[in-house]
Each structure stands twice: as structure tokens, then as C-alpha cells.
Chain A
Amino acid sequence: MKLSPIKVPYVFLIVGFIALVSLFWFTPARASEPAQQTEEYCLSCHSNPDLEMTLPGGEVLPLYISVEELNTSVHSPNGIECEACHTDITTYPHPPIDYQTSRELSRSYYAACQKCHPGNYTRTQDSMHAQVAEAGNLAAPICTDCHGSHYIHPPDQPRTLIPTTCGNCHTQEYSIYQSSVHGNALKQESNPDVPVCTTCHGVHNIQDPRTQQFRVNEPDLCASCHANQEMMNKYDLSGDVYDLYSLSWHGLDVSVYQARWPTIKHTSAICTDCHGIHDILQPDNPESSVNPKNLLVTCQKCHPGVSPNWTGAWTGHYKVSLQRTPFLFYVDSFYSIFTPLILWICGLYVALQFIRFTVDRVRRSL
């Protein structure tokens, strides 16, 4: 088809108009003030991998933000962008930084978490970590140390991530835990039931586990899983260990202290005294502190110099049975008959005597 000479300028006109309108469309958006606070605006500089600055203390602070990683964070895709936390920076040039070190900077910035997460923030302020920081240890963790700063992901996905996070600082406990029955099950089979650090220590308001209060409540802590029959059945473990422990010499003593003197030091054994803390192993593991081979040494930690017979005195996790505890079985059987027998014989005899003598007395007085 051949275009008529009159129609050609119209084509130019339309194309030119569209070009003009499109220019008009985009330019004002670029020029307006709020656009400076967007992530895109910040990233125009901070996506440069070489961007860094030297803090007054001499430390080099990298200023690079990875766009790809930022997009996987929980915040950025949900519209919580740079200025939500970097409230003091609205435009370029930025206000001068007067933090001496990057740690000082982090400790100042994490207060921003409080705006949206007031509950967890406050709980953290009551924690062991906050106390340590107050005492002057600036290495004590703040929100960003565990959760990350720019690239924040759900902290428990996968669950194996939790011990790894804690293990960044608590390296020794982490490696011991990894080889324990709990840590091993988590590592090998991503077991959903085994405790991770936070199961026992709490999440944000982590308390000092060396206090008397923690110690006296510790059996209850273990019981939250080990008294759960359903869960224990899955692993072919006894769900009665806690109830039987509570009836034992140790357990009774601990329950008295727990109920009445939780802050006073007591010496009766709690779960961890025999089974270990982070290094708990299956009792049939030859390395386990409660393996029959090692049990005497474990008892001797508190009962120095006791003879090999001593371990036979422990009944804390077993029901009374003829096979395991014959002495206890016989004594138990004897008293289960003897006690009611004495009670009934005494009661009946005295009652009969009382009736007979009352009747006699009444008869005599008639």
C-alpha cells in the first residue's frame, strides 16, 4: 500500500505527541521529593559493591546492599524499606555519622525494631543478654545479631537454623549440643520434636540458666516433652520418668524447694545433674553418664566414695517391680495388706468393745 503524501505528517504528529506525553508522564515523578526516600533511590548508590566508608574509629564500614538478597528479606517485599529503620537519613548528602565503631552504630540502630516489634523488644530488654550489655559487654547480642539487619528471614526456617544462630557466639555449647541425642536427631533427620536452644532457654527473654530459680524449675522443663506420653511413644521412651522422679527422694526434695524456697540453694539431683545438659546421650550409649557402666561415677559426684551397690538404690524412673526392685516390691506388697489390716482390726475391735460396754452399762443402769 502506498501512503498519500498528506497522511505522512499525521503519522509524525501522532508519534511525536505520544513521545511528548510519555515524557510528561515520567519526568514529574522523577523530580518530586518523596521519591528520594524509596529503596530504589538508596540503591542507586548502595548497590555498588565497592561502596564503603571509614568510621572515625578507623574501622571500614561496608555500605553495599545486595539487591537480590534484599528482595528475599521479610521486610523489603512487604514495603518496609530503608527509611523505616534509617529514619535519620532522608536524602543525599546524608547527615554526618558520629559513631566511633560499627558496633556502636548497630547498638544504636536496633532500637528501631521497637517501633514494629514492641513485645519482643521489651522481652529482650529483660533478658540475660541485655543484662550483660548493661554490665558493659557491648558484644552482647542485639536484635540484628540473631535476625540479621538488611536480609531478615524467618529465624526458625528451617528449624536447624536456630542452634546455628546461637552457635555463632556460643560455639562450645553448640558443638556439644550437635553431638548430643537431641542435637544429633536435629542434624541427621531434622527431627521436629527435639529441643533446640530456644525450647529450653526461651526466645527473647533468655534468662541466666545458672540461677537457683532456673535449676529448681529444670525438671518441669524436661517434663514438658518427657512427660508427654504421645511424644514419648513415638520414640519408644517412657513417659513416666517425671512422675516417678517426683516421688523419688531427689524429686520430693526438689519439689519442696520449688514450691517454697525457689531461690535457696538445694543439693538434690535434678535431671541435668545425672543426664548432662547440652551433652545428653541415650542411656544405652556407652559414653552416657547414666549408662550402667558410668552410673556409679555419676552418683559419686554428689555421694563421694559410695560403693557399687549404691546405684541399686536409684528407683527414680522405674515403677515398683519384682524384677528391678525386689526389696521395694516385697515391702510395698506387705504394707499394702498390713496397713489396712491393722486399721480395720483396731477399728472394728475397739468399736465392738465400745458397743458391748455401752450396752452393758445401759443394762446395769436400768
Chain B
Amino acid sequence: MTSQRKPAPSSPSDAVKLVRTYPRFTISQRWEHAILLLCIAILLVTGLPQKYNTASWSQAIITSPDRLASIQLIHHVTAVVLTALVFHHLGKACYLIARRKLPGDMLPTFQDIKDAWSMLLYLLFIKKQKPVFGKYNFEQKVTYWFLFFSIGVMLISGYTLWFPEVITRLLPGGVIPAAIMAHSTEAIVTAIFIVLWHFYHVHLERLNLSIFSGWLNETDMRTYHTLEYDQLVHQSHSNQDTGDLKS
């Protein structure tokens, strides 16, 4: 683990003040998030007007059958991009597992349930102290795994609707209406989840742009990822002896 020093963007009085930053996401993870964000946005924008086709706002978008066809085309192309992204993500995970290099930070543990319980007690003013977290807290794990399975449901049901003739060669016909319902409902659940849960945590609670920039500053690390921060500081202290820290 390394930490970099970055000059503070604007502090004319104290030009030599340094801000220690900590890497949080790799460039590949940041790209994945950016593409995922774009894909979900496009899929929602092209999917919701099809679901709510009787609403006036939907009719303002889908003005003609030709427009509907192009919206469906965009939806399909975006779905293919999203599928490629999912395969890249899973492929990378498999590769890392094979190399015994997969960081287990994102895997749910029993500690997460205990954290969630402590957090609940804290939120209900029963506990005074907020629980401390590692690299990914249980909220972030919930975000990841919820979207992981949501996207899984959306992709499977989506391809079922795209190629129903092929699917019914292998599976009973009843899966088609089930897929219609799952696709349509899961999309809404996912959208609600992203807006309520994810947007609150990264925009309202604090503006957390580390998924775009790749790094977090020292204050945020200490406040929100205390356990990871302690571990890194401990590591850097032990590394300092070997002169590994570039500072």
C-alpha cells in the first residue's frame, strides 16, 4: 500500500500544506463504474417509457412506432454493453481467484451483520458510538450485492424477452410472462434502491467521488474507513524502516 501526497488545490496562505491521499479504486474499477452508471441510466431512460406507455411523459418520448423501434434498439445495444461489462467483471474475478489474488473486502461476513445491528442501535440513539468499518462497510456491500443480483435478474429476464422463441425451446412457456413481470418490476426496485440508498450515501451523507477520482483523503479515510486506515498506517510505519514509503 502506498499513499501519495498531493498539493492542496487552493490554500494561498499555506502553500506547502500537503494532503495525504489513499488509493481506493483501481482505474479498471473506475471505468467499470462509469460504464455501469451510463448503461443503467440509458436502460432506465429507454425502458421506463416502454413500461409506462400510457403516461403523457412517455408519449412525449415515444411519438411514433419508428421512435419506439429506435428506443428498443438503443435498449438492446446498451444491454449488450452491460452484458460485456458483467462478463468482464466476472472474468476478472475468476482470474483473480485462480491467481489467489482476489481481495475479499467485498465478500459479506458475519461482522457485517454485527455492524448493521450496531449501526441500527446507534441510529436509534441506543448506542452513543458509531461502529467503525474497514475498506467496505456493510452499506457499500449491500449496494454492491443488491445491484449484482438485480443486474443478474435484469439480464436473464431481458434476454428471455428478447429471444422468447429460443428460450421456449429449452424451458416451459410460463417463463416468458414470468420474465416480463420480473424485468418490469425488478427495474423499478433497482431504480428505487439506487435513488434512495446509493444516492443518499454518496451525495447527501457526504459527497463521495472516490469512484471517479480513485482516491480518498486522510480525513475521510479516518472517519469512514477507520479499520482500513489503522491498518494502512500500521503498515506504513513498519514499511518506513525499509524506506518504502515515497514521501
Which of A's residues lie within 8 Å of B, judged by CB? 249, 252, 255-257, 259-261, 264, 266, 303, 305-307, 309-315, 325-328, 330-332, 335, 338-339, 342-343, 346-347, 349-350, 352-357, 359
Known A335-B185, A339-B188; judge A259-B54 contact (CB<8 A): yes
Inter-chain contact total with CB atoms closer than 8 Å: 102
Does B152 sit at the interface, judged by CB under 8 A? no
> Could you tell me the distance in whole angstroms from the C-beta of A102 to the nearest C-beta in chain B?
50
The answer to whether A339 touches B189, judged by C-beta atoms less than 8 angstroms apart, is yes
Stretch at the interface among B30-38, B73-81, B166-174, B212-220: B166-174
Contacts of A356 in B (CB 8 A): 122-123, 125
Contacts of A306 in B (CB 8 A): 165, 168
Looking at chain B's contact residues, the main secondary structure is helix
The answer to whether B123 touches A325, judged by C-beta atoms less than 8 angstroms apart, is no
Given contacts A342-B192, A343-B196, A350-B197, 8 further A-B contacts (CB under 8 A): A260-B59, A305-B165, A307-B165, A307-B168, A315-B177, A338-B189, A343-B189, A359-B125
Contacts of B123 in A (CB 8 A): 349, 352-353, 355-356
The answer to whether A307 touches B169, judged by C-beta atoms less than 8 angstroms apart, is yes
Contacts of A359 in B (CB 8 A): 125
> Could you tell me the distance in whole angstroms from the C-beta of A339 to the nearest C-beta in chain B?
5
Known A264-B65, A306-B165, A306-B168; judge A330-B178 contact (CB<8 A): yes
Contacts of B59 in A (CB 8 A): 260
The answer to whether A342 touches B189, judged by C-beta atoms less than 8 angstroms apart, is yes
Considering the chains assembled together, what is the distance between the CA atoms of A335 and B180 in angstroms? Answer: 12
Contacts of B64 in A (CB 8 A): 261, 264
A309's partner among B122, B168, B192, B197 (CB-CB below 8 A) is B168
The answer to whether A357 touches B205, judged by C-beta atoms less than 8 angstroms apart, is yes
Q: Provide a sorted-by-A list of 7 A–B residue pairs whose CB atoms are within 8 angstroms.
A: A310-B168, A313-B164, A327-B178, A339-B185, A342-B193, A346-B192, A346-B197
Q: Which chain B residue lies CB-closest to A305? A: B165
> Could you tell me the distance in whole angstroms from the C-beta of B147 to the nearest C-beta in chain A?
12
Number of B residues with CB within 8 Å of any CB on chain A: 36
The answer to whether B53 touches A309, judged by C-beta atoms less than 8 angstroms apart, is no
A335's partner among B54, B122, B177, B181 (CB-CB below 8 A) is B181
> Could you tell me the distance in whole angstroms from the C-beta of B130 to the nearest C-beta in chain A?
9
Known A259-B54, A339-B188; judge A328-B169 contact (CB<8 A): no
Does B175 sit at the interface, judged by CB under 8 A? yes
Known A314-B173, A315-B177, A346-B192; judge A354-B65 contact (CB<8 A): no
Q: Which chain A residue lies CB-closest to B122? A: A356
The answer to whether B196 touches A346, judged by C-beta atoms less than 8 angstroms apart, is yes
Contacts of B54 in A (CB 8 A): 255-256, 259
Does B200 sit at the interface, judged by CB under 8 A? yes
Contacts of A328 in B (CB 8 A): 174, 177-178, 181
Q: 7 tightest A-B contacts by CB?
A: A312-B173, A313-B173, A313-B176, A327-B178, A327-B174, A346-B196, A352-B123
Does B207 sit at the interface, judged by CB under 8 A? no
Contacts of A354 in B (CB 8 A): 200, 204
The answer to whether B169 touches A313, judged by C-beta atoms less than 8 angstroms apart, is no
Interface centre among A266, A343, A349, A352 (most CB of B within 10 A): A349
Known A310-B173, A313-B173; judge A331-B197 contact (CB<8 A): no
B196's partner among A260, A307, A327, A347 (CB-CB below 8 A) is A347
Contacts of B188 in A (CB 8 A): 339
Contacts of B98 in A (CB 8 A): none
Considering the chains assembled together, what is the distance between the CA atoms of A325 and B59 in angstroms? Answer: 32
The answer to whether A309 touches B200, judged by C-beta atoms less than 8 angstroms apart, is no
Chain B 175-227 residues near chain A, CB threshold 8 A = 175-178, 180-182, 185-186, 188-189, 192-193, 196-197, 200, 204-205
Known A335-B185, A356-B122; judge A303-B173 contact (CB<8 A): no
> Could you tell me the distance in whole angstroms from the C-beta of A284 to the nearest C-beta in chain B?
21
Does B124 sit at the interface, judged by CB under 8 A? yes
Q: Which chain B residue lies CB-closest to A264? A: B65
Contacts of A326 in B (CB 8 A): 174
Considering the chains assembled together, what is the distance between the CA atoms of A95 and B173 in angstroms? Answer: 76
Contacts of B164 in A (CB 8 A): 310, 313
Considering the chains assembled together, what is the distance between the CA atoms of A313 and B176 in angstroms? Answer: 6
Contacts of A261 in B (CB 8 A): 64-65
Considering the chains assembled together, what is the distance between the CA atoms of A338 and B153 in angstroms? Answer: 13
Considering the chains assembled together, what is the distance between the CA atoms of A259 and B63 in angstroms? Answer: 12
Contacts of A331 in B (CB 8 A): 178, 181-182
Considering the chains assembled together, what is the distance between the CA atoms of A355 and B122 in angstroms? Answer: 11
Contacts of B120 in A (CB 8 A): 352
Q: Which chain B residue lies CB-closest to A335? A: B185
Known A256-B53, A346-B192; judge A311-B185 contact (CB<8 A): no
